Amino acid sequence: MLSRVAESIYWMSRQIERAENVGRCVDVNLHLLLDLPGLFEGQWGALVKITGNYDDFRERYGEPNDQRVIEFLTFDRENPNSVVSCITAARENARSIREIISSDTWEELNIIYLDLTSNDAQKRAKDDPAEFFRQVRRAGTALTGVMFETMSREEAWHFSRMGRLLERADQTTRILDLKYFLLLPDAQDVGTPIDDVHWLAILRSAGAFEMYRKAHGRVSANKIVQFLVLDAQFPRSVHYCLNNAEISLRAVTGTPYKTFRNSAERRLGRLASDLDYTDHKDVVRNGLHQFLDEFQTSLNHAGDGLSETFFALKPS
């Protein structure tokens, strides 16, 4: 497979996953406003912070509120992480590899793009934001399902899968880091119903609420960290994402497990192996934010390794 094709399908999947994640987080915020209206206004700014574009937002929009943040995260084409920007970029990548992806995938992606860029999209988001962002979330899930069901398990599918899973792992850690530093109004609220509502919002933002309830029942910060970071079976946990991204990587390269022949295999394999032997008590004891910060750095290095190995090939 040509490196440009591999890169296009990899980033197409990352951009689709990112758009879906932003839609889910905004949807959860809207519902949380109903539960904690007096304590939650600052969360709109916090939501921008997890995207890494807070300084740009403040410079162009000023103080964050619901309408400004929704505009910035959904429709602002100058924000590379907005839903419209991500779907537009994904569509452009898909256009360049039409012969690789399925027709159903291309059609579904076009449906989402046309809906988000239609003349009445911003009005619909303003009139009924909860319904609008539920549709964004469902459209992203449907598109991922179409790709999963209509593409052969060949190299293109594995690059697509790696992009989706690495983006999902990154977004899950950002959501957890948001709770630790930005959502808790005061140390005295730890363990209170307010704290529980925040943790439940984190689970919903990660699409993990129902599966966590089935696995663990009551809200527990340690168990939520374990579920979202270390659970090997839940498809949105960091551990699951890395394990399966590594499976796809080795399906492409043919390199046996526990060995490596390039920086992508070395970095991703090391990161996945570290989680195999990590305990949630160690994560909390050493500091959740520090763990997540170090993990995000390592995950970025793993992504760089993929780019160096497959996308930045130099002519011989």
The mean pLDDT of 5-28, rounded to a whole number, is: 92
Nearest Cα to 224, choosing from 242, 204, 245?
204
Give the per-residue pLDDT at 212.
Answer: 95
pTM of the predicted protein model:
0.91
The mean pLDDT of 189-217, rounded to a whole number, is: 82
40 within 8 A of 47, measured Cβ to Cβ = no
Give the per-residue pLDDT at 159.
Answer: 97
The mean pLDDT of 29-53, rounded to a whole number, is: 73
Counting runs of H as helices and runs of E as strands, what totals does the chain give? 16, 0
pLDDT at 163 over 60: yes
Question: For 253-300, what is each residue's pLDDT tens digit?
Answer: 999 988 999 999 999 999 999 999 988 888 877 788 888 889 999 999
Give the per-residue pLDDT at 280.
Answer: 81
Question: For 88-124, what is each residue's pLDDT tens digit?
Answer: 999 999 999 999 999 999 999 999 999 999 999 999 9
41 pLDDT band, cuts 50/70/90, is: low
pLDDT at 189 over 80: no
The mean pLDDT of 153-162, rounded to a whole number, is: 95
Tokens for 221, please give them: 């910060």
Give the per-residue pLDDT at 180.
Answer: 60
Share of the chain above pLDDT 70, in %: 91
Nearest Cα to 28, choosing from 134, 184, 185?
134
Is pLDDT larger for residue 194 or for residue 59? 59
Give the per-residue pLDDT at 315.
Answer: 47
Is pLDDT larger for residue 178 or for residue 292? 292
pLDDT at 203 over 70: yes
Residues found in the chain: 316
pLDDT at 64 over 80: yes
One DSSP character per residue, 45-88 reads: HHHHHTTT-HHHHHHHH-S--HHHHHHHHHT-TTSTTSHHHHHH
* CA 74 to chain CA mean position, Å: 15
Give the per-residue pLDDT at 26.
Answer: 86
Average model confidence (pLDDT) for the chain? Answer: 88
